[in-house]
Amino acid sequence: MAQIGRREYECSYTLSGGFSLSSSSSACQFKLSPVLLVFICSHCVSVYFENDAFVCDSLCSVFSPLFVTWKKVVNGGEPRLRGCIGTLEACQLINGFRDYALTSALRDRRFPPIQAKELPNLECTVSILTDYETANNYLDWEVGKHGIIIEFVDDYNTRRSATYLPEVPAHEGWTRVEAIDSLIRKAGFSGPITESLRKRIKLTRYQSTLFTMHYSDYASHVKATRGAAPTIAGAKFGNH
């Protein structure tokens, strides 16, 4: 759902990719590597519950749109969405993931805020959005390859917009038309969906790079570098 100003959006589904990790001292001052971005998300939520301060060198000069997704894994079952919010406007990566890690964990209106006791069962996915292109029409994109942003003015002269990350239509098994119609509903339009309405859509397509880390991987790295696992609300979480 779009919000005026920073143009934030909620999304519904992400997958994993793969990178390498590098970090340093207990002051949480890190050297940059792509997996660090998801590590930062896990860390800033942990220190939030520790009532501690997050400190990180702004070594990254890269700006990009991004999303942060939290899912909860219970008894080895399918991970269930616990929060997901991001921005389609470019922001500095480290600061952006730090901010949206907390926003998606605590302020996704579809879910109650994540609690400290849930951390051992959480996994975090970061999505970096790239390759923005203006499509020729609402069908000018590929399922499984492109994320899509739609913008349109409805019959009541209300401007609406919504987005799906690239993984959503493929996961749901949608055709391009089905994905567009679902996005129209996601944008808040409840009237009849006609071909005329679809043709009024301005569509932007993009791609994404993803990485997922389970909280246990974060806790293991903290234990290896600091000699002790994170302590949250008086309980230590190690390997799970």
The predicted-structure confidence for 73-100, as pLDDT tens digits, reads as follows 888 888 899 999 999 999 887 788 888 9
Please give the single-letter amino acid code of residue 190. S
Q: What percent of the chain has pLDDT above 90?
A: 39
Rounded Cα gap, residues 43 and 77, in angstroms: 24
94 & 213 share domain: yes
Residue matched to tokens 């996915």: 125
Q: How confident is the model at residue 62 (pLDDT cuts 50, 70, 90)?
A: confident
Is the pLDDT higher at 220 or at 72?
72
Rounded to an integer, the average pLDDT of 200-205 is: 98
Query: Which residues lie below 8 Å from residue 134, measured CB to CB, with a gap of 6+?
Result: 202, 203, 204
Tokens of 106: 């605590």
What integer is the mean pLDDT of 120-126? Answer: 88
Considering the domain architecture, whether residues 219 and 106 belong to the same structural domain is answered as: yes
Q: How many domains does the chain have?
A: 2
Q: Identify the H or E element spanning 177.
A: helix 176-186
**Helix axes of 215-226 and 36-49: crossing angle, nearest 10 degrees:** 80
Residues 187 and 104 in one domain: no
In-domain check, residue 116: yes
Residues 125, 43, single domain; the answer is yes
- Report whether pLDDT(190) > 80: yes
Neighbours of 37 (CB within 10 A): 26
> How many C-beta neighbours within 10 Å does residue 113 have?
12
Contacts of 102 (CB under 8 A, 6+ apart): 44, 45, 48
User: pLDDT, tens digit, for every residue of 10-37?
Assistant: 433 222 323 222 333 332 333 334 455 5
Give residue 90's identity as a one-letter amino acid code. A
pLDDT of residue 44: 59
Q: What range does the domain containing 112 cover?
A: 34-130+208-226
Q: Both 118 and 152 in a single domain?
A: no
Residues 156 and 43 reside in one and the same domain? no
Is 55's pLDDT higher than 80?
A: no
